[in-house]
């Protein structure tokens, strides 16, 4: 179940904004309960920050997994 939920967050191109199912819009709706048009500068900034954090955290986890694997390989 968890693996199926994580599949859309692969390491390919990331749909950051532009559709209803992207990081930025989802954070505006679910975190601030506001749409794109009525969102103020603060809500937009927070949605951007949370979206960037989501992307960087999943990339960081992937990097740690790869580096850990290589460290074991060379030991």
Would you say residue 23 has pLDDT above 60?
yes
Domain ranges of the chain: 16-74
Burial pattern 40-66, b for ≥16 Cβ within 10 A else e, equals: eeebbeebbebbeebeeeeeeeeeeee
Q: How far is CA 48 from the centre of its chain?
A: 10
Q: Which two tokens stand for residue 10?
A: 């692969």
Cβ atoms 28, 35 nearer than 8 A: yes
Q: Residues 39-68: pLDDT tens digits?
A: 899 999 998 999 889 888 888 887 787 777
The model carries a pTM of 0.62
The pair phi, psi for residue 19, each rounded to 5°, is -125, 175
């Amino acid at each position: 179940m968890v693996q199926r939920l994580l599949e859309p967050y692969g390491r390919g191109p990331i749909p950051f904004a532009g559709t209803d199912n992207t990081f930025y819009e989802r954070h505006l709706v679910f975190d601030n309960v506001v749409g794109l048009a009525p969102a103020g500068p603060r809500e937009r900034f927070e949605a951007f920050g949370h979206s960037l954090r989501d992307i960087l955290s999943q990339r960081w986890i992937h990097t740690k997994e790869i580096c850990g694997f290589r460290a074991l390989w060379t030991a």
